[in-house]
């Protein structure tokens, strides 16, 4: 069994030295994208919960607490009453990895429900 020329010695090491950081970066971006997707789903759920609790006539503090319990960490919950309609709006931030890559921030999620009780205010 013969070996290749000596000038290729260490070529695999150099290739691995370049490939491993690229794979780590790719894995970090993929993981951040998954986290962002999960946060988006949790934001949708939080908006629905907040609107539903507020529409039942419960205090705004209870609706905010219920929405924040479902929302991802760092999410902002805003409640509003407009006549017989109630709205819950949840805003989430992108993971730092995606922000660093210039990915635009996600749009806030809004859920609307018809109030079952009169005189509800946020």
- Residue 2 forms part of a structural domain: no
- Residue 57 forms part of a structural domain: yes
- Residue 35 forms part of a structural domain: yes
Question: pLDDT (tens digit, 9 = 90+) per residue, 31-85?
Answer: 999 999 999 999 999 999 999 999 999 999 999 999 999 999 999 999 999 999 9
119: left (phi over 0), alpha (psi -120 to 50) or beta: left
- Residue 119 forms part of a structural domain: no
- Residue 38 forms part of a structural domain: yes
Going from the C-alpha of 106 to that of each of 74, 81, 84, 103, 112, the distances in angstroms are: 14, 24, 28, 9, 19
- The pTM for the full model equals 0.76
Question: pLDDT (tens digit, 9 = 90+) per residue, 89-122?
Answer: 999 998 888 888 888 989 999 999 999 865 545 5
Helices (H) and strands (E) in the chain, counts: 3, 3
The pair of structure tokens assigned to 59 is 């205090």
Query: How far is 85 from 28, CA to CA, in rounded Å?
Result: 41
| Model pLDDT, residue 2 | 57
pLDDT greater than 70 at residue 17: yes
- Residue 67 forms part of a structural domain: yes
- Residue 71 forms part of a structural domain: yes
Domain that residue 34 falls in: 14-114
- The burial of 43, by beta-carbon neighbours within 10 Å (0-12 exposed, 13-18 middle, 19 or more buried), is given as buried
Query: How far is 112 from 110, CA to CA, in rounded Å?
Result: 7
User: How many domains does one find in the chain?
Assistant: 1
- Residue 81 forms part of a structural domain: yes
């Amino acid at each position: 069994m013969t070996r290749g020329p000596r000038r290729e010695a260490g070529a695999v090491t150099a290739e691995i030295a370049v490939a491993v950081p690229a794979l780590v970066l790719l894995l970090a971006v993929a993981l951040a994208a998954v986290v962002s997707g999960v946060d988006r789903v949790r934001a949708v759920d939080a908006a629905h919960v907040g609107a539903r609790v507020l529409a039942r006539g419960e205090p705004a503090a209870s609706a905010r607490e219920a929405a924040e319990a479902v929302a991802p960490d760092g999410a902002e919950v805003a409640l509003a009453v407009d006549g017989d309609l109630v709205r819950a709006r949840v805003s989430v931030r992108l993971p730092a990895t995606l922000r660093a890559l210039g990915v635009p921030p996600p749009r806030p999620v809004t859920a609307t429900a018809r109030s079952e009780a009169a005189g509800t205010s946020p």
